[in-house]
């Protein structure tokens, strides 16, 4: 066999091996096998492979072979203009270095391939359609390889063959990452309509951010409306437990700059940025290397005139910290995190609006029930206690949070009809006569009419409240009032409030008798179970009492409640 035939056969075998490697669609595996093949073909002692990061104009160590001590270099980033690799990339031509250690372009600062005595190096830039993709370096090649132009040509051919596959794998990886990100955004947006629990939603959003951006941690900081300090609202990642109640003074740190200016800031080396606020790392033990920080904007409704105006305001900022593999933040990262921060800001604003609305609504309900207490001082606090007892029963029954909330409100209003009962009946210190009792029996009807006449039943939160008002004096045996309902005609809400109402009535002091001992109270309730009261609700109240969820009127006074 001639030398030329042997050389051709070698070329064919190498290309066949390259084709097998090209079948890898996973980027890291492709790069690993690619460098192995190049080292094998050149008979070199070691090699490194970099990929070019266009976002930061840096070369990133991806694979190091032949020197175990230098595995720590993987992920390290160097400026794409520096060193032999940078020079080869700029020249867009392979470089052969005869004496590596004395070459003026050799970057000793990286400590590359420590423990090896470096002699020669062949450095090949990976270029595709005029654009840099990466750099391959092989070290300590045998003399025959260095002096053989056909060997050099084979290396270049091999690199040219594989560079297209590297770019394909990168594009596939990027496409898959974008697909995952789009799917996550769709999921997050759909979740916004599935729950009003702001904490749950924010946890999902920032966990997605951590995963999709490939960072070690994410956090949300909100502006304190009083002094402007930034307060950590939530964090995802390591050391999150050490970050509770952390504050950054107004205007300080990268986060302070972002919230003050409304700018997005990317710093891939925070130690070199004078704005970096080190106190947070000192407190938590977390070591911040790189940061992507975006402002969180939410609409503020300005009430005034015929219509409220909407004004956008920066309520805080979101941070993503330390991309894995020491990569730099990309434009896609910035775009994605900005979108996620916008969703988080919406959640926070909705949660605040919900809290404000709930507070206002609750205070209005309390004002109404307070008016009832003013008319009947002997039962002051009765409406609140019945509400607390009803909620405790509902929790023991395993009702949903939405149902429990409705029961909390509707049970507070159960006696609102007493507003129409004359004071001389409500405040009578003795037992009522038949006529007075007949009038008192109308308070469930009066209460329902109160809701209807004021359009309160049109409010979603009060939609089922009529059941508590109209049915809390009905009995399972049909001997209750005002409508003589029996059995399943009485709603669960009506049954719950009936038990809570009776419990408070006989466990509290009245003008005509003292509060009964708790054992006697339970005896009376259980005696009425199945005829007057719902047995399941009675036992739920007993369990709630045993679990410490129910305090009587007297016990509340002792505790100062």
What does DSSP assign to residue 317?
Answer: E
Quick check: is 466 in a domain? yes
- CATH for 465: 1.10.3210.10
Nearest CA-CA partner of 335 in 212, 232, 221, 218: 212
Pairing of β 58-65 and β 46-53:
antiparallel
The region of weakest confidence among 74-88, 176-190, 344-358, 411-425 is 176-190
pLDDT of residue 278 exceeding 70, the answer is: yes
Q: Of 93 and 177, which is predicted with more confidence?
A: 93
pLDDT tens digit sequence for 48-58: 888 888 877 88
pLDDT of res. 475:
94
- CATH for 242: 3.30.450.40
pLDDT of res. 306:
46
Tell me if 393 sits within 8 A of 541, measured CB to CB. Answer: yes
pLDDT tens digit sequence for 524-553: 999 999 999 999 999 999 999 999 998 888
Q: Do 490 and 430 have their domain in common?
A: yes
Pairing of β 131-139 and β 46-53:
antiparallel
pLDDT of residue 19 exceeding 60, the answer is: yes
SS3 513: strand
Phi-psi sector, 494: left (phi>0), alpha (psi -120 to 50), beta: alpha
Quick one: pLDDT band at residue 418, thresholds 50, 70, 90?
confident
Q: Do 94 and 167 have their domain in common?
A: yes
Average pLDDT of the segment spanning 351-380:
77
Q: Do 334 and 480 have their domain in common?
A: no
Q: Of 78 and 152, which is predicted with more confidence?
A: 78
Quick check: is 363 in a domain? no
User: What are the φ and ψ backbone dihedral angles of 292, each rounded to 5 degrees?
Assistant: -115, 120
Average pLDDT of the segment spanning 16-28:
74
pLDDT of res. 244:
63
Q: Do 409 and 535 have their domain in common?
A: yes
Q: What percent of the chain has pLDDT over 90?
A: 20
Q: Do 381 and 458 have their domain in common?
A: yes
Average pLDDT of the segment spanning 88-93:
87
Q: Which residues, including other chains, have CB under 8 Å from residue 180's CB and lie 6 or more apart?
A: 212
Quick check: is 320 in a domain? yes
Q: Do 26 and 161 have their domain in common?
A: yes
Q: Of 12 and 371, which is predicted with more confidence?
A: 371
pLDDT of residue 198 exceeding 90, the answer is: no
Q: Of 188 and 153, which is predicted with more confidence?
A: 153
Tokens of 560: 């100062």
Average pLDDT of the segment spanning 373-399:
86
Q: Do 219 and 268 have their domain in common?
A: yes
pLDDT tens digit sequence for 311-362: 678 889 999 998 886 677 888 888 888 988 888 888 888 777 777 777 877 8
Residue ending a domain, choose from 174, 206, 228? 174
Q: Do 31 and 159 have their domain in common?
A: yes
Domain limits for position 278: 192-300+310-346
**Of all helices (H) and strands (E), which one includes residue 342?**
helix 331-375
Average pLDDT of the segment spanning 376-393:
85
The region of weakest confidence among 39-48, 296-305, 409-418, 507-516 is 296-305
pLDDT of residue 292 exceeding 70, the answer is: yes
Q: Do 18 and 155 have their domain in common?
A: yes
Tokens of 71: 């595995």
pLDDT tens digit sequence for 425-482: 887 777 888 888 888 889 988 888 888 887 777 777 677 778 888 899 999 999 999 9
Classify the C-alpha dihedral 552-557-559-561 as positive or negative.
positive
Residues 221 and 318: their CA atoms lie apart, in Å, by 6
Residue ending a domain, choose from 291, 324, 346? 346
pLDDT of res. 377:
63
Average pLDDT of the segment spanning 213-241:
83
Task: Give the relative orientation of helices 518-528 and 492-507 as an angle to the nearest 10 degrees.
Answer: 140
Beta bridge partners of 401: none
pLDDT of res. 110:
54
Tell me if 140 sits within 8 A of 46, measured CB to CB. Answer: yes
pLDDT of res. 11:
64
Residues 233 and 240: their CA atoms lie apart, in Å, by 11
Quick check: is 514 in a domain? yes
Quick check: is 28 in a domain? yes
Of 145-154, 235-244, 490-499, give the range with the top mean pLDDT: 490-499
pLDDT of residue 186 exceeding 70, the answer is: yes
Quick one: pLDDT band at residue 112, thresholds 50, 70, 90?
low
pLDDT of residue 1 exceeding 50, the answer is: no
Tally of CB atoms within 10 A around 174:
13
Task: Give the relative orientation of helices 401-412 and 331-375 as an angle to the nearest 10 degrees.
Answer: 30
Domain count, the chain: 3
pLDDT of res. 300:
65
Q: Do 127 and 219 have their domain in common?
A: no
CA distances from 32 to 58, 66, 74, 398, 429 (A): 20, 12, 12, 56, 92
Nearest CA-CA partner of 248 in 284, 298, 299: 284
Q: Do 13 and 155 have their domain in common?
A: yes
pLDDT of res. 43:
85
Q: Do 539 and 438 have their domain in common?
A: yes
Beta bridge partners of 138: 47, 122
Quick check: is 75 in a domain? yes
Please spell the DSSP secondary structure of 419-460, one letter per residue.
GGS-HHHHT-SS---HHHHHHHTTHHHHHHHHHHHTTGGGSG
Of 76-85, 148-157, 312-321, give the range with the top mean pLDDT: 312-321
391-400: long-range pairs with CB below 8 Å, 24+: 392/540, 392/541, 392/544, 392/549, 392/550, 393/496, 393/499, 393/500, 393/537, 393/540, 393/541, 393/544, 394/496, 395/544, 395/549, 396/540, 396/541, 396/543, 396/544, 396/547, 397/496, 397/536, 397/537, 397/540
Residue ending a domain, choose from 113, 148, 174? 174
Quick check: is 130 in a domain? yes
Q: Where are the beta strands (DSSP E) in 81-156?
A: 95-97, 121-128, 131-139
Q: Where are the beta strands (DSSP E) in 140-176?
A: none
Quick check: is 360 in a domain? no
Q: Where are the beta strands (DSSP E) in 107-171?
A: 121-128, 131-139
């Amino acid at each position: 066999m001639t030398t030329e035939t042997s050389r051709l056969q070698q070329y064919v075998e190498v290309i066949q091996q390259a084709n097998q490697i090209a079948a890898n669609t996973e980027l890291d595996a492709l790069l690993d096998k690619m460098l192995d093949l190049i080292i094998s073909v050149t008979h070199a002692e070691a090699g490194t492979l970099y990929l070019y990061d266009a976002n930061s104009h840096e070369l990133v160590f991806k694979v190091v072979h032949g020197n175990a001590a230098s595995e720590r270099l993987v992920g390290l980033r160097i400026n794409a203009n520096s060193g032999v690799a940078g020079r080869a990339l700029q020249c867009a031509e392979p470089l052969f270095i005869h004496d590596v250690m004395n070459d003026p372009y050799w970057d000793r600062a990286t400590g590359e391939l420590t423990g090896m005595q470096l002699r020669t190096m062949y450095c090949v830039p990976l270029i595709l359609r005029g654009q840099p993709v990466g750099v391959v370096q092989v070290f300590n090649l045998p003399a025959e390889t260095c002096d053989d132009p056909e060997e050099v040509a084979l290396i270049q051919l091999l690199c040219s063959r594989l560079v297209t596959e590297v770019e394909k794998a990168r594009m596939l990886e990027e496409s898959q990452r974008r697909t995952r990100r789009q799917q996550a955004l769709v999921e997050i947006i759909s979740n916004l309509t599935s729950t009003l629990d702001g904490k749950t939603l924010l946890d999902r959003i920032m966990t997605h951010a951590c995963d999709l951006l490939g960072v070690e941690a994410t956090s949300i900081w909100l502006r304190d409306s009083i002094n402007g300090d930034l307060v950590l609202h939530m964090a995802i990642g390591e050391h999150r437990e050490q970050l509770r109640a952390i504050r950054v003074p107004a205007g300080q740190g990268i986060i302070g700059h972002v919230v003050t200016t409304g700018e997005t800031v990317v710093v891939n080396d925070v130690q070199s940025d004078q704005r970096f606020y080190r106190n947070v790392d000192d407190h938590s033990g977390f070591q911040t290397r790189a940061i992507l920080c975006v402002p969180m904007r939410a609409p503020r409704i300005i009430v005034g005139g015929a219509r409220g105006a909407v004004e956008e305001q920066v309520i805080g900022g979101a941070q993503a910290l330390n991309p894995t593999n020491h990569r730099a933040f990309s434009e896609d990262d910035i775009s994605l995190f900005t979108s996620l921060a916008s969703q988080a800001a919406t959640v926070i604003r909705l949660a605040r609006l919900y809290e404000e609305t709930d507070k206002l609504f609750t205070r209005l309900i309390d004002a109404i029930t307070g008016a009832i207490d003013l008319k009947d001082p002997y039962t002051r606090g009765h409406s609140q206690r019945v509400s607390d007892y009803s909620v405790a029963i509902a929790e023991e029954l395993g009702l949903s949070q939405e149902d429990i909330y409705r029961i909390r409100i509707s049970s507070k209003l159960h006696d609102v009809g007493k507003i129409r009962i004359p004071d001389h009946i409500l405040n009578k210190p003795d037992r009522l006569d038949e006529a007075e009792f007949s009038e008192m029996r109308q308070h469930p009807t009066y209460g329902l009419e109160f809701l209807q006449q004021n359009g309160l039943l049109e409010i979603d939160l009060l939609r089922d409240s009529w059941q508590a008002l109209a049915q809390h004096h009905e009995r399972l045996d049909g001997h209750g009032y005002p409508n003589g309902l029996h059995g399943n005609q009485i709603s669960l809400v009506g049954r719950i409030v009936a038990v809570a109402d009776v419990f408070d009535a006989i466990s509290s002091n009245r003008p005509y008798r003292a509060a009964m001992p708790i054992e006697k109270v339970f005896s009376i309730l259980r005696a009425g179970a199945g005829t007057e009261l719902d047995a399941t609700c009675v036992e739920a109240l007993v369990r709630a009492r045993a679990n410490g969820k129910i305090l009587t009127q007297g016990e509340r006074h002792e505790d100062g409640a």
